[in-house]
Chains A and B, each alone.
Chain A
Amino acid sequence: MSPDDFDFLRKMLRERSGLMLAAEKQYLAESRLLPVARKFNIASLGDLVQQIRLMPGSPLAVATVEAMTTNETFFFRDKLPFDHFRDTILPALTGARERDKRIRIWCAAASTGQEPYSLALIIKEMLQKQPALAAFRFDILATDLAGEVLERARAGVYSQFEVQRGLPITLLLKYFTQVGETWQIASDIRAMVQFRPLNLLNDFSPLGRFDVVFCRNVLIYFDQPTKIDVLTRLARQMPEHGYLALGAAETVVGLTDAFKPLTEKRGLYVPNPASRELEAPLAVASVVQRRAL
């Protein structure tokens, strides 16, 4: 791939997905895009870029963006955010939502589904220990930019390697069925998660409000203005007592006041009431301005 082709690719990825591909990451682009080229019967990566230049909206261009933005994940990745979910978030929210008995959860970069299914497994286990919580409705929405990985996620079929990374053996035995060399997660767990394609760069306000947002290991690929924009819009869709989980290498500190870190809960953030008070007059002002027009 020529330097010119690589620059074109970087610009396209940034515009379409927010992905900031560093100049020294040409090797990564080559290793991920060679399989795409093979799949589309294209002889070289130079030809691949040339075809995208000619047809920017083609399935090839979509497959290229998806290949570059798909990242490996596994069940209960990093463990700690899931401990927070089980031990801090769910007890607090089931207490706070005693009246409407509905909790909405959003996994904003769901990839092949291990993260939303991990949350579903925690809820399922909790329901068995506390049957009174069966009166609650738990909605889990899982979104990702890449349609192909969402198809895999919906099927809930994982390789032997995938089910061994982070998934306790007791949960494998309890909630998965062995299908040849693979393992499929139980249909009642699959039914707890709704998968949908979504680009975080686009308006996601129609999705509604969420009590919990897992947005892990995606902001690290964005530039600073995009990180701030996504975090600000996330905060607008969360109630005051909501929870945001970010990846181990991500933070809101130094980026936005829309969230504040939760003391002694690494990686967990809550909407900042002070920031909301600042936003409210601005929102009123914009309504007044629109009416005046």
Chain B
Amino acid sequence: MSDIILKGDKNGFSVIIDVNANYVDAFKELKEMIMQQNVKSTNEDDDVINFTVKTGNRLLNTDQKAAIKELFSKYPQLYLKDIESDVESKIAVEKMFNKTKTNIESGIVRSGQKLDYEGDLIFLGTLHRDAQICTTGSVYILGEVNGIVQAGYPNNTGATIFGNLKDVDQIRIADVIEIVTDDNRDDFKNGSFAFIDDLHSISVDNLKNYKNRLNDLKKRTG
């Protein structure tokens, strides 16, 4: 039985490395196969052929990946699109997981403290003046906030800040900053939400209107 299987479809060729095979043997076989392939293809004046290497339940380390890339780079007729695996390392999974997780923060954030999160944030604590909470996703405020609340850092304009916006000093979503002064303090009430509207500035509305606003935005921005 062969260690590698070559399959072709309209997107080019896939090289599937058998998960039970010895990798050294499989790599040797891949080498030979490519040499043969190259002999065939250089005879014709053909387009570049795309290859995807699929490793199944095997995860290649960076050296192994580099070796495969180097192998393909020797043959200009053959282009390595990607090295795919069905599995992912725990570290990478954790990173992906963190991006979408929901953080819960209680307790007091004091002047001069800045708390950074990835994902969404449910804020149950108290945010003092001159303090800051910052996350990549949305923020749900159930506690009291006096300082600066940043959602969607650094460029997620779809992030929203929900909940108790009374007494907040500054609202930041992505790159937009809204300063709360005596002129607009009345807009910021408990039970509201702040979002980036279609003019790319921050709007505040009552939570009751959230669904309508969301639909409106979708309609206009597509």
Q: Is B a genuine binding partner of A?
A: no
Please report A residues at the B interface, Cβ cutoff 8 Å.
Answer: none
